[in-house]
Amino acid sequence: MTSSARTKSINVVLGVSGGIAAYKVASILRLLTEAGHNVQVVPTQAALNFVGSATWEALSGNPVISEVWDDVPDVPHVRIGQAADLVIVAPATADLLSRAASGAANDLLTNVLLTARCPIVYAPAMHTEMWLNAATQENVATLRSRGSIVIDPADGRLTGADSGPGRLPEAEEIVSVALGVLSEQDLLGQDIVITAGGTREFLDPVRFLGNSSSGKQGVALAIAARDRGAKVTLICANASVSMPAGVAIENVITGDDMHAAVMKASMTADAIVMAAAIADYKPKSTHSSKMKKSDDGSSPTIELVRTTDILADLVTHRNTSHPDQIIVGFAAETGDDHGSVLEHGIAKLQRKGCDLLVINEVGPNLAFGTDDNEVTILTREPASQTTVSKTSKTQIAHAIWDAVIALQH
């Protein structure tokens, strides 16, 4: 499976309900049409109070249909849903979610939802109190139990001075989740844990030992696993990239934080991918106040100790209590007098005992912070070596999941 499944032109119904976030949906529409998809916008009458038909028609290239009584001979309340390959509802207001969950058919959009035989993705947007209300949560649970995808809203500024969960996710995230449900679901039902970013080990309240990992590869792995049907937990350390929707996020800072979070999450995981760059060393002690420069110009001596080897702990735990679990390590390497990047990677695979090891060479403009990379994927049993030539981190993520699935079968 590759991302090619998401590049085929499809028929998308974009339902728009009546919330202030309706203006943001124009960006969703543009992303879909620029990707070559045919989009039929179906706004509710309330939505047209926020954004008019002219906008939707200009951006989609299709006439807007908003009433059951429009184009009656074409029977739009049945035809539109039947012809759709994908339905996206954004914003999905509390009212729309309630009507969809109850099976109401009191406007064109709810009729489309009842006649659609394709995946339906809801992107809620509403005030925090409405989102957290028990009635809304029950409606969301009902829709999810029927197979619909309901993206959790973002946390941020809402209408007026309010702030909290209820903000419409970014357009790119909604489109990514929606198109992802059309991908081959070869990780469906699996519990996946992924780490991303780089840990920090503090010398004092200001300074720390760290690395320049952006978290891009870990996030790409999370999105790819999500799109292939997995339940994903992303444990993220100090990443500089946006977090994906449809994924459980746990933020950590230090290696000890990461160790605790990973070991807890691993208890139920079918596969764990350790893509984070975790510090090998940390200060033996941390100063409680900022370290000051000495008057005599001397430099402080900082004693370092080894951090916990999380990958080794995972392998030990797996070998005793979870024998079918797949563990994937990452090796950010440089060649030296003792061996090449590949030789160091092979030695690490044998030393750590994980199932797969992804090797990438690091350095200026290599791996960390870039949008593309070149990696070698090693498997321990049966021993194999696969080189993924320079390509996007999204494609690398899918290659890694292909390798994981091959081991599971």
Tell me the backbone φ, ψ of residue 196, rounded to 5 degrees. Answer: -150, 160
Q: Could you say which DSSP state residue 47 is in?
A: G
Non-local CB neighbours of 17 within 8 Å, separated by 6+ positions: 43, 44, 46, 47, 89, 91, 92, 93, 95, 96, 109
229: region left, alpha or beta (phi > 0 left; psi from -120 to 50 alpha): left
Residues written for the chain: 409
How many CB atoms are closer than 10 A to CB 111?
19
> Which of the residues are catalytic?
211
* Distance of alpha carbon 242 from alpha carbon 174, whole angstroms: 13
Count Cα neighbours of 265 within 13 Å in the Cβ-side half-sphere: 27
* Distance of alpha carbon 310 from alpha carbon 352, whole angstroms: 10
* Distance of alpha carbon 274 from alpha carbon 196, whole angstroms: 7
Two tokens, residue 70:
């429009």
Two tokens, residue 94:
């509390």
Query: What's the longest Cα–Cα distance across the chain?
Result: 91
Non-local CB neighbours of 36 within 8 Å, separated by 6+ positions: 7, 9
**How would DSSP label each residue in 115-164?**
H--S-EEEEE---HHHHHSHHHHHHHHHHHHTT-EEPPPEEEE-STT-EE
**How many whole angstroms from its chain centre is CA 84?**
25
- For the chain, what is the radius of gyration of the CA atoms? 24
